[in-house]
Amino acid sequence: MNNQMLTFCVTNNRSLPLQSYLKDVIGIPKGHLHELRMSKQVLVNGENPNWTNPLKEGDQVFVPILPEEISPIATEMDIEIIYETEHLLVVNKEAGMDTHPSSDQDFRSLSNGVAYYFKNNGISSKVRHVHRLDQDTSGAILFAKHAISGAILDRMLEERKVKRTYLALVEGIMSMSKGTLDKPIGKDRHHASRRRVSPNGQKAITHFKVVKTFQKEQLTLVELTLDTGRTHQIRVHMSSIGHPIYGDKLYGSKNKHHRHSLHAWKLTVPHPFKEKSATVHAPVPTSFGPSFLKLEEL
C-alpha cells in the first residue's frame, strides 16, 4: 500500500476482466466494487481501465483506499496495541469493556478508543472489528483498517483461517487432558442474555487442552480453540460439562470474582493479500484470576 493505494501485480489470472479479478482473486465484495468503479480512481498500468477488458499477466492494478467518515465517536483512552500493519491492528482489550458501543450514548467501548487512534494517526476509516469479545473477557481483538482488508478478513474468519486461542480457569479438576465439545448452542428462552446447549441451536465446536491443575483450589487452567464463534460459546460449553469458568455467575460459577476468568490469549492472523500470517500474544492481566496463578509463566 502506497499513498492510500493498494497495488497488485496480475499473475496467472486466466484472462479475467478487471471486475472479476478484483472480486474473485482479490476478494473485494460486490458492493464495494461499485464504489470503487464510481470513484474512477482504479488504474491499470497507470491508466483508467475498461472494466470488461481481460487483464494480462504482469499488469499492475492500483486500487484506492477510499476515505470514510470515522465512526463510532472517537473517545480518548489508553488502548494497548499489540500488533499493527497498514491493513489491520490487534488490540488487547481490558475486562469490563465492551467491544463496540451498546447504545448511542455509549462512548467508552474499545471501538471508541480505536476510533480515537484512527483520528490521531490520519486513518480515515470506519472502525471494523473482525470479531468480538464479551464484556468481561479480556484479550486480543482484530480490527481492519480499511473496507477492503475488512471484507477479506471477515471471509478469512468464516473460513477458519483466523485462529483464536483462549485461556480459561474453570471450576473442578477436569478428568480428560484434552478433547472436543461438539454441542449446538441456542438462546435460553428463560433468560434474555444467556445461551444454552440446544439440539435446535447453531453448530458449535470447542477444542480444549488442560494446561495445569490446582488440586487444593479445585481449579483447572485450560487452553481452548474454536472452530465456530457462537455467543458465549466457551462459557456455555464448559458449563455444560460441569466446569463453569471461574467467576462466571451467569453460567453457574460458585466463586465470587469480579470478572470471569477467560482471556483471548493468542491470535494468528493471515495477511489479507499475501501468503503469510502473524501470531501474536495478548499478555494475561492480573485481573484474570486468583493471586496464586503465576501469570508470568503463561
Indicate whether 192 pLDDT > 90. no
Report the pLDDT averaged over residues 190-211. 95
Global pTM value: 0.92
* CATH code at position 176: 3.30.2350.10
Is residue 88 included in any domain, yes or no? Answer: no
Is residue 91 included in any domain, yes or no? Answer: no
In order, the DSSP letters of 234-292 are HHHHHHHTT-PBTT-GGGT--S--SS--EEEEEEEEE-SSSS-EEEEEPPPPGGGS-TT
**Confidence band, pLDDT 50/70/90 cuts, at residue 15:** confident
Indicate whether 142 pLDDT > 80. yes
**Confidence band, pLDDT 50/70/90 cuts, at residue 153:** very high
Dist CA 124 CA 100 (whole Å): 18
**Confidence band, pLDDT 50/70/90 cuts, at residue 3:** low
The number of domains in the chain is 2
Q: What is residue 59's predicted lDDT score, i.e. its pLDDT?
A: 94
Report the pLDDT averaged over residues 146-164. 94
Q: What is residue 148's predicted lDDT score, i.e. its pLDDT?
A: 95
Domain span holding position 47: 5-64
| Residue of 24, 59, 134, 227 marked catalytic | 134
In order, the DSSP letters of 140-209 are EEEEESSHHHHHHHHHHHHTT-SEEEEEEEEES--S-SEEEEE--EEE-TT-TT-EEE-TTSB--EEEEE
Q: What is the pLDDT of residues 23-33, one digit of tens each?
A: 999 999 988 99
Q: What is residue 295's predicted lDDT score, i.e. its pLDDT?
A: 66
* CATH code at position 57: 3.10.290.10
The cell for 71 is 465512526
Residue 213, phi then psi, degrees to nearest 5: -115, 150
Is residue 272 included in any domain, yes or no? Answer: no
Dist CA 232 CA 190 (whole Å): 16
Last residue of a domain, one of 64, 85, 106: 64
Q: What is residue 127's predicted lDDT score, i.e. its pLDDT?
A: 97
Is residue 182 included in any domain, yes or no? Answer: yes
Report the pLDDT averaged over residues 129-140. 96
Is residue 279 included in any domain, yes or no? Answer: no
Q: What is residue 270's predicted lDDT score, i.e. its pLDDT?
A: 96
Q: What is the pLDDT of residues 47-87, one digit of tens each?
A: 999 999 999 999 999 999 999 999 999 999 999 999 999 99
**Confidence band, pLDDT 50/70/90 cuts, at residue 105:** confident
Last residue of a domain, one of 64, 98, 115: 64
Q: What is residue 296's predicted lDDT score, i.e. its pLDDT?
A: 61
Dist CA 39 CA 201 (whole Å): 43
227: annotated active-site residue:
no
Last residue of a domain, one of 44, 64, 84: 64
The cell for 7 is 497495488
Indicate whether 1 pLDDT > 60. no
**Confidence band, pLDDT 50/70/90 cuts, at residue 104:** confident
Is residue 24 included in any domain, yes or no? Answer: yes
Is residue 133 included in any domain, yes or no? Answer: no
Q: What is the pLDDT of residues 219-263, one digit of tens each?
A: 999 999 999 999 999 999 999 999 999 999 999 999 989 999 999
Q: What is residue 102's predicted lDDT score, i.e. its pLDDT?
A: 87
Average pLDDT, the chain: 94
Is residue 171 included in any domain, yes or no? Answer: yes
Indicate whether 2 pLDDT > 70. no
